[in-house]
């Protein structure tokens, strides 16, 4: 059975002057898939991700994201995706409840939907006692779990996660991945970058970028077999060491 | 109390340091009574997540922040009384890039050399290895460097006065696996030159690169030892379990009363059982009831992340 494709990229390229940041990348991601997007610093991950989110216009190539053409419908794409990064996620000087309501409003949910979502998330994340606390006062791990929930508050087709677990304690890091599995089971496609190689193992498929190109793309087991390695860490080291360009 | 005869051997002595911050109306205890010693020439790691108190601790030890209580000495000098002497002896690379963005690579380095009354030429041997990698860009402004190059320049600037103790606050955060490996190789070479190094990191797997580590969480030290010693303290039977349909497996294992904890580790779950009674046969039999296929169960030794999580739970109780 051919699964519904949520991202289809063909020869997607981004040049800055003479520098080719992303060099003809082509890949497909299915509905509900957890897709790991790996690469060394400077390999072109962020640029590629910004293009797929409709934040940066590709130089050449084609891409369909959430059924929409990246060149024609970049604005509509933004409504059908969620985004979260380690650096930017929530408003620190709003409370937990206010953040959920704010993002719900931004994504165009109705008042009733926002109310239901707020109640559901507060309960689901066990934040009942803290819903009126400022986000600033929360531990990082809680913030990141809340940020993820807020990024998918509008049940988008895809959520892009840029190093969502950096600096988070090991227990919370794993709880965070359970939220990812949950979202994926509900049919939300998860596109995630990480520097933790154990997390690469939790993805359905993983791509590894080297010097602006996708050098490898397969299931974690497939990659380990191809590169004759015991772990994703080893696979990554073998591939990323091939890089010629710096950051 | 620290035994007086250990002082000669210790580059850093920390005794019961406490540091609290007032944030709005609540009080946050950043460092909650931390004590340890670092021997001369040791590569000592402080491993813990964001918010553990690593940066506050480094700022106290580098004389940039006053502790509320407790004492600390660097090479026998008190961090409060003798801060002027200490500042000449230590090198500090903060977590946030803090060189002069609008000076060139070369200008930054010679600025720091001048401040410490020395020259680049005088201590070039120490930084040569690292500096050569950024020398082709020596005319470039520091603000225009890539993350990896900034990090190398900051390390050179922290080393240019040949410090006897080097503090590196999260030098590898946000850095990819390849560059992290290279950075640790660089630290091993510095250690070989006799420099005492204290390095903090949120990456548990980097503990293995240190002579000894302090695992830190919520302002407290959970354990201090050689990484392999910490792992040997892990007493409960630990199993690696794998099957088709991994997410279901996680839910099933978590609901089983015989399981203490179950955490994902790459392609396996690491499962701590409540008693020795549950071995490979019992675990397999239990999972077969739930129609799991391709079940693999093997007993394993704990790694540092297993140990950290187990210690986190003990400290919560």
Note down pLDDT in tens along chain A; length 247 residues: 457 999 999 999 999 999 999 999 999 999 999 999 999 888 999 899 999 999 999 999 999 999 999 999 999 999 999 999 877 679 999 999 999 999 999 999 999 999 999 999 999 898 988 899 999 888 888 899 999 999 999 999 999 999 899 888 999 999 999 999 999 999 999 999 998 888 999 999 999 999 999 999 999 999 999 999 999 999 999 998 877 766 5
In this predicted structure, the answer to whether residue B1 has a pLDDT above a threshold of 50 is: no
B309 touches chain A (CB under 8 A): yes
> Are B312 and A197 a contacting pair at CB < 8 A?
no
B312 touches chain A (CB under 8 A): yes
- A189-193 and A34-39 beta bridge pairing: parallel
- B296-299 and B259-265 beta bridge pairing: unpaired
> Are A166 and B263 a contacting pair at CB < 8 A?
no
CA dihedral B98, B174, A233, B279 (to 10 degrees): 120
Q: φ, ψ for residue A69 (rounded to 5)?
A: -80, 125
pLDDT tens digits for A131-141? 999 998 888 88
What angle, 0 to 180 degrees and rounded to 10, lies between the N-to-C axes of helices B124-134 and B147-159? 170
Query: Rounded to whole angstroms, how far apart are CA atoms A13 and A26?
Result: 10
**Exposure class string for B65-96: b at 16+ Cβ within 10 A, else e:** bebeebebbbbebebeebeeebbebbbbbbee
pTM of the model: 0.88
Nearest to A41 among B51, B148, B250 (CB): B148
Nearest to A236 among B48, B173, B177 (CB): B177
Burial of B290 from C-beta contacts in 10 A (0-12 / 13-18 / 19+): middle
Query: Rounded to whole angstroms, how far apart are CA atoms B109 and B93?
Result: 13
In this predicted structure, the answer to whether residue B4 has a pLDDT above a threshold of 80 is: no
Query: Rounded to whole angstroms, how far apart are CA atoms B83 and A57?
Result: 53
CA dihedral B31, B34, B36, B42 (to 10 degrees): -10
In this predicted structure, the answer to whether residue B3 has a pLDDT above a threshold of 50 is: no
For residue A72, what is the DSSP state?
T
Which residue of chain B comes nearest to A181, CA vs CA?
Answer: B247
**What share of chain A in percent tops pLDDT 70?**
97
- The total of other beta-carbon atoms located within 10 Å of residue B289's CB is 8
Query: Rounded to whole angstroms, how far apart are CA atoms B99 and B95?
Result: 12
Mutate to test the interface with B, among A47, A136, A195, A243 (most CBs of B within 10 A): A195
Res B316: pLDDT: 56
pLDDT tens digits for B159-188? 999 999 999 999 998 788 888 888 999 999
How many angstroms from the chain centroid is the CA of residue A210? 19
Nearest to B50 among A163, A167, A237 (CB): A167
CA proximity to A32, closest of A192, A219, A188? A188
Q: ipTM score of the complex?
A: 0.83
In this predicted structure, the answer to whether residue B8 has a pLDDT above a threshold of 80 is: no
Query: Rounded to whole angstroms, how far apart are CA atoms B110 and B120?
Result: 6
In this predicted structure, the answer to whether residue B131 has a pLDDT above a threshold of 80 is: yes
Query: Rounded to whole angstroms, how far apart are CA atoms A112 and A238?
Result: 52
Contact by Cβ (8 Å): B196, B90: no
Q: φ, ψ for residue B248 (rounded to 5)?
A: -65, -40
**Residues 152 to 191 of B: which have CB under 8 A from any A CB?**
173-181
- The total of other beta-carbon atoms located within 10 Å of residue A52's CB is 25
Which residue of chain A comes nearest to B247, CA vs CA?
Answer: A181
Size of interface A-B (CB pairs under 8 A): 95
3-class secondary structure per residue, A27-39: EEEECCCEEEEEE
Residues of A in contact with B305 (CB under 8 A): 170
Res A161: pLDDT: 95
Query: Rounded to whole angstroms, how far apart are CA atoms A214 and A239?
Result: 10
Contact by Cβ (8 Å): B31, B55: no
Residues of A in contact with B204 (CB under 8 A): 170
């Amino acid at each position: 059975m051919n699964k519904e494709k949520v991202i289809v990229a063909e020869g997607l390229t981004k040049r800055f002057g003479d520098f080719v940041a992303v060099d003809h990348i082509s890949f497909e991601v299915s509905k509900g898939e957890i897709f790991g997007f790996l690469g060394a610093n400077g390999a072109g991950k962020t640029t590629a991700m910004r293009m797929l989110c409709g934040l940066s216009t590709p130089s050449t190539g084609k891409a369909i994201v959430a059924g929409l053409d990246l060149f024609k419908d970049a604005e509509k794409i933004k409504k059908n995706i969620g985004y979260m990064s380690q650096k930017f996620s929530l408003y620190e000087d709003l409370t937990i409840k206010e953040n959920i309501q704010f993002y719900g409003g931004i994504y165009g949910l109705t008042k009733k939907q926002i109310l239901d979502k707020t109640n559901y998330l507060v309960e689901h994340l066990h934040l009942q006692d803290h819903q009126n606390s400022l986000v600033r006062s929360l531990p990082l791990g809680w913030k990141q779990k809340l940020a993820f929930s807020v990024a998918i508050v509008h049940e988008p087709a895809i959520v892009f996660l840029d190093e969502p677990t950096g600096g988070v304690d090991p227990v919370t890091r794993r709880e965070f991945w359970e939220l990812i599995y949950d979202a994926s089971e509900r049919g939300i496609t998860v596109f995630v970058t990480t520097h933790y190689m154990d997390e690469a193992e939790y993805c359905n498929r993983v791509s590894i970028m080297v010097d602006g190109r996708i050098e490898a793309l397969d299931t974690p087991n497939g990659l380990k077999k191809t590169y004759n390695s015991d772990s994703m860490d080893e696979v990554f080291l073998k591939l990323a060491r091939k890089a010629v360009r710096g950051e | 109390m620290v035994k007086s005869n250990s002082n000669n051997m210790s580059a850093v002595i920390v005794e019961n340091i406490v540091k609290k911050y007032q944030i709005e109306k609540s009080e946050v205890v950043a460092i909650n009574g931390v004590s340890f010693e670092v021997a001369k020439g040791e590569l000592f790691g402080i491993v813990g997540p964001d918010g553990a108190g690593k940066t506050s601790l480094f700022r106290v030890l580098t004389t940039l922040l006053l502790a509320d209580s407790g004492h600390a000495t660097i090479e026998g000098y008190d961090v409060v009384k003798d801060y002027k002497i200490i500042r000449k002896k230590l090198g500090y690379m903060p977590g946030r890039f803090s060189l002069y963005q609008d000076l060139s690579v070369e200008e930054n380095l010679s600025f720091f050399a001048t401040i410490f009354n020395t020259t680049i030429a005088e201590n070039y041997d120490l930084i040569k290895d690292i500096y050569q990698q950024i020398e082709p860009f020596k005319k470039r402004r520091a603000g225009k460097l890539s993350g990896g190059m900034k990090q190398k320049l900051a390390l050179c600037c922290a080393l240019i006065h040949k410090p006897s103790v080097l503090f590196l606050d999260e030098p590898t955060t946000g850095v990819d696996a390849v560059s992290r490996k290279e950075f640790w190789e660089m630290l091993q070479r510095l250690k070989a030159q006799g420099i005492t190094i204290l390095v903090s990191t949120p990456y548990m797997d980097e503990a293995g690169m240190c002579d000894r580590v302090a695992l830190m969480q919520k302002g407290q030290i959970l354990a201090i030892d050689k990484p392999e010693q910490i792992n040997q303290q892990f007493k409960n039977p630990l199993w690696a379990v794998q099957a088709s349909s991994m997410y279901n497996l996680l839910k099933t294992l978590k609901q089983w009363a015989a399981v203490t904890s179950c955490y994902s580790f790459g392609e396996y779950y690491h499962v701590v059982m409540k008693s020795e009674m549950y071995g490979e046969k019992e675990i397999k039999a239990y999972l077969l009831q739930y129609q799991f296929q391709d079940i693999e169960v093997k007993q394993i030794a704990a790694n540092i992340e297993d140990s950290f999580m187990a210690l986190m739970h003990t400290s919560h109780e």
